[in-house]
Amino acid sequence: MGAEPGLAVCAAHEDAQATATCARCGNNVCPLCLELDSALPDHCGACRARVGGGQMAWEREGLPWLRRWLLTTREVLLRPTDTFERCAPGPWTASLAYAAVTGALQAAVQFCFLLCGAGCLLAAGLWEETIGPEGREPLFVWIMVGVLVAYPLMVVGFHLLLVVVRAALFHAGVMVSGGGEGFAVSFWGAGYVHAIQLATLIAAILGNLPLIGPLITLFVYLAIEVWTALQLTTIARVRHHLTPQRATLAGWTPFLVFSAIGVGCCALMILWFVSTPMWPDQ
């Protein structure tokens, strides 16, 4: 169905009636041209591509924090390459806050699992056996309360530490490759790609499966690091203005370092296992 005679016509879709004008170029636009959930909801598609999409949804003001988090997470996970190509780097503190919220929400989900586990102990009548003799019960209860309170803080702290380390390794690769932007850009990217860490919840659930659980966990964490390396490669290419080859080196630097540390730890464990006698001399 085309536009009615005498009414404004969309500049990009000649068969559609214009309902607004682009805030940048002033062309007539129709609902098909606008993306209300994007960083630039009042820009046409061509202008969004030209100006780089403006800000991440998380950095926009006027929306509830949960909606901004959901929009940013959706964009980063479902359209990562397009998102990092369109969105200009913002404050590194904003990306750090996003990573902290991501860690807090993940900790909340895991906290619910812990509470469910405690509830299962109560339902199964095993609580008395778990807490031990009556004389140690108050101490055990206080230990449990301390663990439940400290656990979310430890999870958030771990997520922030991981972002800082990944950003430092990524920027080291950028500097070696000849990148021209500062550490704030690398930190900005490392904070937002941290959204993929939500996939660790899958590993936490499937890792409990007998026999194949550890193997699934290994593959999930490997997939997370590969995905992260690919997105850091995009950031190095687009925001640090590196060639595809140099961007690949910079983007995969954290993956290579983490892999080397993992292989080294496994080698040390094997050496310790081989050098330690299983049956001590009588």
Span 145-174, pLDDT tens digits: 777 777 778 888 999 999 999 999 999 999
Q: What percent of the chain has pLDDT over 90?
A: 34
The stretch 169-192 carries a mean pLDDT of 92
φ, ψ at 54 (rounded to 5°): 70, -125
Confidence class for position 98, pLDDT limits 50, 70, 90: very high
N-terminal to C-terminal alpha carbon distance within the chain: 92
Helix, coil or strand: residue 155: helix
Q: What percent of the chain has pLDDT over 70?
A: 81
Helix, coil or strand: residue 98: helix
Q: Is the pTM of this model over 0.75?
A: no
Q: Do the beta carbons of residue 26 and residue 47 sit within 8 Å?
A: no
Q: What was the pLDDT predicted at 135?
A: 44
Span 21-54, pLDDT tens digits: 988 888 899 988 887 766 577 888 777 766 655 6
Q: What was the pLDDT predicted at 124?
A: 53
Taking each helix axis as running N to C, give the angle between helix 253-275 and helix 244-251, from 0 to 180 degrees, rounded to the nearest 10.
40
* From 64-68, 115-119, 185-189, 201-205, the region with the lowest mean pLDDT: 115-119
Pairing of strands 28-29, 20-21: antiparallel
Q: Do the beta carbons of residue 37 and residue 70 sit within 8 Å?
A: no
